[in-house]
């Protein structure tokens, strides 16, 4: 084959490749995934998560802590409302309120036979509130309309107040704090329908960004500020929540 014929052959092949490749590249790729109508358009989703914990200690001992006398309780409630504006897509909001109180009458910290510390009259109380904008995308597991999952995008704003006092009389000292919190995250979850209108839900945070600013005043004199930022790109076991939801 002469150089002229070889050049002509390569030109024809280049023209064929330029004609065929764009057509192949423009062909749409289909995964052939079936989408079952899991949450229909127009449905209202309302749910609530409530937790309460209380404990009392009387001469309780734990590791290096001895003679613990006091009580504590924690309360949290979190109602949620969403509206399905399209099949398997919903948007709405959640409000969360939590309150915690600890009263420690006395406690001893014993490190060894010659080293020990005593804590008397410790009182701590705090309450926090958060408002969260939510967006959910539902999808069923196979063709089931009872078991499904969802991806939940969260935008949260909130704050709180807390007070810590120790000692008594002239030895009384205390710190008052106010905090502001901002969080953006993704929390996938699992939903199991018990019947046509009620379901159990569980979700867990896997990634997000959190900003927190705290201002504290000690003994009404000393002022301090603390700011923290962190990004989380792993499963956060402390963010697992369980709740009951009603689909109307």
pLDDT tens digit sequence for 201-223 = 888 877 788 899 999 998 888 89
Q: Specify the pLDDT at position 166.
A: 85
Nearest of 73, 68, 85, 51 to residue 243 by alpha carbon:
51
Cβ neighbors of 33 (< 8 A, separation 6 or more) are none
Rg (CA), the chain: 29
Q: Say how many CA atoms lie within 13 Å of 19 toward its Cβ.
A: 6
C-beta separation of 187 from 239 below 8 A? yes
Nearest of 189, 214, 218 to residue 49 by alpha carbon:
189
What is the distance between the alpha carbons of residues 139 and 39, in angstroms, rounded to a whole number?
9
Q: Looking at the whole model, is its pTM more than 0.85? A: no
Under the banding of pLDDT at 50, 70 and 90, the label for residue 179 is: very high
DSSP H or E stretch at residue 215? strand 207-218
C-beta separation of 210 from 232 below 8 A? yes
CATH for the 42-247 domain, from 2.40.160, 3.90.1570, 3.40.50, 2.60.40: 2.40.160
Q: Which residues pair with 212 in a beta bridge?
A: 181, 228
List Cα–Cα distances, 53 to 10, 59, 94, 184, 204, in angstroms: 79, 20, 22, 28, 21
What is the distance between the alpha carbons of residues 209 and 225, in angstroms, rounded to a whole number?
20
Summarize the confidence of residues 144-150 as an average pLDDT.
Answer: 86
Stronger pLDDT, 22 or 111, i.e. the higher one: 111
From the centroid of its chain, how far is CA 79? 14
Beta strands at 116-140 and 173-186: parallel, antiparallel or unpaired: unpaired
Nearest of 141, 213, 124, 110 to residue 176 by alpha carbon:
124
Stronger pLDDT, 163 or 14, i.e. the higher one: 163
> Residue 54: pLDDT above 60?
yes
């Amino acid at each position: 084959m002469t150089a002229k014929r070889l050049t002509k052959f390569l030109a024809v092949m280049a023209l064929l490749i330029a004609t065929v490749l764009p057509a192949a590249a423009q062909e749409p790729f289909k995964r052939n995934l079936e989408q079952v109508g899991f949450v229909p358009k127009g449905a209202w989703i309302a749910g609530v998560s409530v937790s309460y914990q209380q404990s009392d200690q009387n001469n309780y001992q734990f590791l290096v802590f001895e003679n613990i006398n006091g009580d504590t309780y924690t309360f949290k409630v979190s109602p949620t409302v969403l509206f399905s504006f399209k099949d398997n897509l919903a948007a709405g909001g959640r409000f969360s309120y939590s309150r915690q109180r600890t009263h420690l009458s006395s406690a001893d910290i014993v490190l060894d036979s010659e080293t020990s510390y005593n804590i008397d009259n410790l009182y701590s109380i705090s309450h926090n509130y958060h408002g969260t904008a939510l967006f959910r995308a539902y999808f069923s597991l196979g063709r089931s309309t009872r078991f499904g999952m969802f991806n939940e995008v969260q935008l949260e704003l909130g704050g709180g107040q807390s007070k810590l006092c120790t000692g008594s009389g002239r030895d009384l000292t205390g710190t008052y704090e106010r905090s502001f919190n901002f969080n953006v995250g993704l929390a996938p979850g699992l939903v199991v329908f018990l019947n046509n209108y009620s379901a159990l839900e569980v979700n867990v945070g896997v990634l997000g960004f959190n900003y927190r600013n705290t201002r504290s005043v000690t003994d009404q004199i000393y002022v301090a500020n603390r700011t923290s930022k962190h990004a989380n790109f792993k499963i956060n076991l402390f963010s697992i929540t369980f709740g009951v939801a009603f689909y109307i």
